[in-house]
Amino acid sequence: MHGRLEWAELDSAALAGNALGDPARRPLLVYLPPGYEAGAGRVPAVYFLHGFSGSARAYANVTPFQPSLPERVDALVSSGAVPPFIGVFPDGWTRLGGSQWVNSAATGRYRDYLAKDVVGFVDARWRTLPRASARAVVGKSSGGYGALVHGALHPDVFGHVASHAGDSAFEYCYLPDFPRAAAALEGTDPGTWLEGFLHRARETKPRGDDHAVLNIVAMAAAYSARAGAPLGLELPFDARTARLRDDVWERWLAADPVRFVPRHLDAFRRLGSVFLDCGTRDEFNLRWGARMVADALRAGGVEVVHEEFDDGHRGIDYRYDRSIAYLVPRMERG
């Protein structure tokens, strides 16, 4: 690696006292480009949001036969394919596997954690250019969803956004798993099921059908929190019949980028760059939502790059090469 990776830890005011009891002190991985130590100028920063069940520490893992994402970033910068930038890899892990990078009473204030705590910590510690025009937020899957959320709600913090296979069109990406989750939760509640899952994962390993259930429970914590309920969340279906609960399901739909992006077109028009992509064989049907979001942005007068590629949902870190090559040259430099 021509640049270098640096670990830090930050104490997040936004995550203090969260309902899941997850730590407010979080690891942070930062990529510093070649020549950073010898320089004096300020450098733009790209914030990378991991997907569901990811963590900051996972970015440092060695990947067989393929470069890790930090190694991909380093190759782009050191080859001159993109100008130097600081890469920031925050940690959004929760006891449920993820937070969608949103504020929720059931998980914690992960949107505030990123937009306020992490950005403030990074700007104070490294030579970033502390303006939205010099910050990008990019992510894949749940991280891509989080990037769209921050583009909609924090254009004053992040001036450039990229979403790789971000969760959207909830009828297609979540609804197919509702019957599976209902079957696993029959006769119990999300809190009791979670304890059993965590015990199973510690003692042996998760079952093959556990991911779908955990995903729905985690999404309910993000989109339909309810104080006093088990795990502080409401499921979007009836426990006995699996019939949709329209009032709860509407809360989920309100959080769908297909619905919220058209409500925040003014924010997206303020951005310097918007990049969307998804594989045509995405196992969670996310290409349809990406198309809908891209259409909504274009109809609202937002310049957007939308691409599709012949692949599925997993193992697509190589697509960051495309978004970084588009975003970084458009970012303000000191």
CATH number of the domain that residue 281 is part of:
3.40.50.1820
* pLDDT score recorded for residue 218: 98
**Residue position matching structure tokens 């990037």:** 147
Question: What value, to the nearest 5°, has the Cα angle with vertex 93 and ends 92 and 99?
Answer: 65
Residue 171: pLDDT above 90?
yes
What are the structure tokens assigned to 254, written together?
């309100």
- Whether residues 139 and 284 share a domain: the answer is yes
- Whether residues 301 and 191 share a domain: the answer is no
- Whether residues 32 and 96 share a domain: the answer is yes
* DSSP-derived pairing of the beta strands 103-104 and 108-109: antiparallel
**Residue position matching structure tokens 């003692």:** 203
pLDDT band at 334 (very low <50, low <70, confident <90, very high): confident
* pLDDT score recorded for residue 40: 81
* DSSP-derived pairing of the beta strands 273-279 and 160-164: parallel
- Whether residues 13 and 61 share a domain: the answer is yes
* pLDDT score recorded for residue 247: 98
- Whether residues 13 and 125 share a domain: the answer is yes
**Residue position matching structure tokens 């980028």:** 257
Q: Look up the pTM and report it.
A: 0.98
Backbone angles phi, psi at 225, to 5 degrees: -65, 145
Range of the domain at 181: 172-253
